[in-house]
Amino acid sequence: GQVVDGSVQALQDGAVGSVAAQTLCPSILFACASCNDFLDTMPDNRTELNTPEKISKVLVDAYPTANWNMLAEFSSDNTDDNGSRNMELDRLSEEVYHWKDTKESGNDSPGAYWEACYKAVAVSNHALEAIEKLGDTEDLKAQKGEALLCRAYGHFMLSYIFCNAWTTSNQNTALGIPYSTKPETTVNPSYERGTIGQTYEKIAKDIEEGLPLVDDNNYSVPKYHFNRKAAYAFAARFYLYYGKYERAIECANVVLGDNASLVLRDWEALGKLSLNEDHQPNAYISSTEQANLLLVTSRSFWGLYNGPLTTSNRYCHNPTIAETETCSSTGVWGDCTSTLKQQPADYTSIPKVVFRKFPLYYMEYTDPVLGNGYYNIISSAFNTDETLLVRAEAYALTKQYSKAIADMQSWLNAYTTSKVQLTEENINQFYGNIAYYTPTEPTVKKELHPDFALEAGTQENLIQFILHARRITTLHEGLRWGDIKRYGITIYRRIIEDKEITVTDELKADDPRRAIQLPADVILAGLEANPRS
């Protein structure tokens, strides 16, 4: 693979993750003697943070360099077990799929992601400390804004993976994650998790302080940083999860402007590209694509887990899910197989259906002669397509139905060739007349058990439409896991063999396994584990 589209600047030395197990000393909550060296150095030991330019350079490392897609996708209902005749890539994928508390390490493990997020947070904190020491002057505002947004994002993603969804009823009881606001100065500091409500309060504080400071002129390649639109897209998603829907709408408006249709992805052009090699993936994560707002590079095997390989086809998004629930299903817009502008790759020789959003890998060579190096992928962490669906959902939850439908019409026009004109009537007729999903008779409509009021009829049907559209649009990108947790959707573990469905487990709304277990080293160091039955 080749590093493309300017992304080499995100492939920094010292990033977390490798083809083998990690050896970098963790930035927080790991009790190991080598942390002395980590704590005695700057986050980038090649420079002292005494100018705006040096702070800008170090903030390149303030983004998590491990990937969360496998953790979220394999935990969700976007993945089935295709039976023992097929091969899994590793034990980690098996344990994540079965909602087990894994002790496996490696690029895509809970330990790698926990470490990468807190390393990114540590870099943000060093930058913020340097800014404070330099007098917090006008010429440091852009760097301060980026550092605050990066700190908020690192903690938000930690809570997304390792905590239950925030709700009004659990905000003072459900466990949060330690919120780090100062560089560490001791080898084995003591931390408490606090509550999810306290975590969200601190994320919101950093976001609101950081938003007005972000300046696009501070970056040579803005889409690898929290530029203004990326920052507001993050804020919109966060406030949707936080139940502050009007604020989510305000932030999404900054991203989408007066006419959202003008800033969405050109799905037709993407769909015309060859499914062979990496043509579609390279275009999907291009920094010249107007829909992409923030691109993040990470060391990951996700391209291998999700690619057309027989070595990773036991746990995957398979034809059964595709035909009954996602990218080959039928929606109010019509049949996906004839209307989606980007069609998935359906590999007849293996039970896997995927959109080409990720290459197998981009190789970061440490020894070009021997071919040794690190596997990297690039992800579109925030884009206008998803932000449009965030705003549509916020409109629906505040009963601004006409505005929600207008946003969904923009989505339908951009993503499909359908000529359907959306109305309350045809949305209610379609989603209102579908039977609720069962694991042996699957449909696109699953029972919703959110912690907030959701009215039967138009509101629920509109939410079902939005969840259906988001599940297809963001397939393989990990966001379905958030919808499952926020809406209390029961999901199942199924074995699909010769079109026979065998149910082996279920994850209900109150199942504690919805919060992925903390890394074993973190628990051993004294941090409270997520509860288990």
CA separation for the pair 157, 131 (Å, rounded): 25
Ramachandran category for residue 61: left, alpha or beta (phi over 0 → left; psi -120 to 50 → alpha): alpha
CA separation for the pair 315, 442 (Å, rounded): 18
CA separation for the pair 407, 350 (Å, rounded): 36
How many residues would you count in the chain?
533
> Average pLDDT for residues 461-466, to the nearest whole number?
98
pLDDT at 480 over 50: yes
CA separation for the pair 94, 113 (Å, rounded): 18
Burial of residue 138, with CB atoms counted within 10 A of its CB: 0-12 exposed, 13-18 middle, 19 or more buried? exposed
Contacts of 86 (CB under 8 A, 6+ apart): 310, 313, 314, 350, 351
Higher pLDDT pick, 16 / 236: 236
Query: Taking the model in full, what pTM does it have?
Result: 0.91
* 166, 204 contact by CB (below 8 A): no
Tokens in use for 350? Answer: 């293996």
> Average pLDDT for residues 254-281, to the nearest whole number?
95
- Tell me 275's DSSP state: S
User: For the segment 362-386, what is each residue's pLDDT rounded down to a tens digit?
Assistant: 998 999 888 889 999 999 999 999 9
Residue 45 φ then ψ, to 5°: -75, 10
12 band by pLDDT with thresholds 50, 70 and 90: very low
Strand order in the sheet with 362-367: 292-299, 372-383, 362-367
The reported pLDDT for the residue numbered 6 is 38
The reported pLDDT for the residue numbered 132 is 97
Q: Which residue has the tokens 């009963």?
A: 399
CA separation for the pair 219, 144 (Å, rounded): 13
Lowest mean pLDDT among 36-40, 95-99, 244-248, 290-294: 36-40
> Average pLDDT for residues 192-209, to the nearest whole number?
98
* 404, 424 contact by CB (below 8 A): no
CA separation for the pair 468, 464 (Å, rounded): 6
* 298, 377 contact by CB (below 8 A): yes
The reported pLDDT for the residue numbered 527 is 96
Residue 299, beta-bridge partner list: 66, 376
The reported pLDDT for the residue numbered 19 is 24
User: For the segment 115-157, what is each residue's pLDDT rounded down to a tens digit?
Assistant: 999 999 999 999 999 999 999 999 999 999 999 999 999 999 9
What percent of the chain stands above pLDDT 70? 90
Rg (CA), the chain: 22
Residue 367, beta-bridge partner list: 372
What is the CB neighbour count within 10 angstroms for residue 533?
A: 6
> Average pLDDT for residues 161-180, to the nearest whole number?
98
Contacts of 278 (CB under 8 A, 6+ apart): 1, 356, 359, 360
pLDDT at 76 over 50: yes
Contacts of 126 (CB under 8 A, 6+ apart): 42, 43, 49, 58, 183
The reported pLDDT for the residue numbered 311 is 82
The DSSP H or E segment spanning 502 is: strand 500-507
- Tell me 290's DSSP state: T
* 135, 89 contact by CB (below 8 A): no
- Closest to 225 (Cα-Cα) out of 170, 279, 147: 147
User: For the segment 401-443, what is each residue's pLDDT rounded down to a tens digit?
Assistant: 999 999 999 999 999 999 999 999 999 999 999 999 999 999 9
The reported pLDDT for the residue numbered 16 is 28
pLDDT at 278 over 50: yes
CA separation for the pair 4, 284 (Å, rounded): 12
* 224, 7 contact by CB (below 8 A): yes
CA separation for the pair 442, 325 (Å, rounded): 7
In single-letter form, the type of residue at position 147 comes to A
The reported pLDDT for the residue numbered 43 is 53
- Using CA atoms, how far residue 318 sits from 104, 292, 306, 496, in Å, is 25, 27, 11, 9
Give the number of C-alpha atoms closer than 13 A to the C-alpha of residue 21, restricted to the C-beta side. Answer: 7
* DSSP letters for 101-129: -----STTSHHHHHHHHHHHHHHHHHHHH
CA end-to-end span of the chain, whole Å? 44
487 band by pLDDT with thresholds 50, 70 and 90: very high
The reported pLDDT for the residue numbered 371 is 86
The reported pLDDT for the residue numbered 189 is 63
Contacts of 172 (CB under 8 A, 6+ apart): 195, 197
* DSSP letters for 421-471: ---HHHHHHHHHTSPPP-SSS--S------SS---TTHHHHHHHHHHHHHH
pLDDT at 11 over 50: no
Highest mean pLDDT: which range of 35-39, 47-51, 200-204: 200-204
186 band by pLDDT with thresholds 50, 70 and 90: low
The reported pLDDT for the residue numbered 349 is 80
Maximum distance among all Cα pairs of the chain, rounded to whole angstroms: 67
Q: Which residue has the tokens 């291009």?
A: 286
Lowest mean pLDDT among 185-189, 408-412, 458-462: 185-189
pLDDT at 185 over 90: no
Tokens in use for 244? Answer: 């502050």
CA separation for the pair 230, 381 (Å, rounded): 9
Tokens in use for 231? Answer: 């920052």
SS3 483: helix
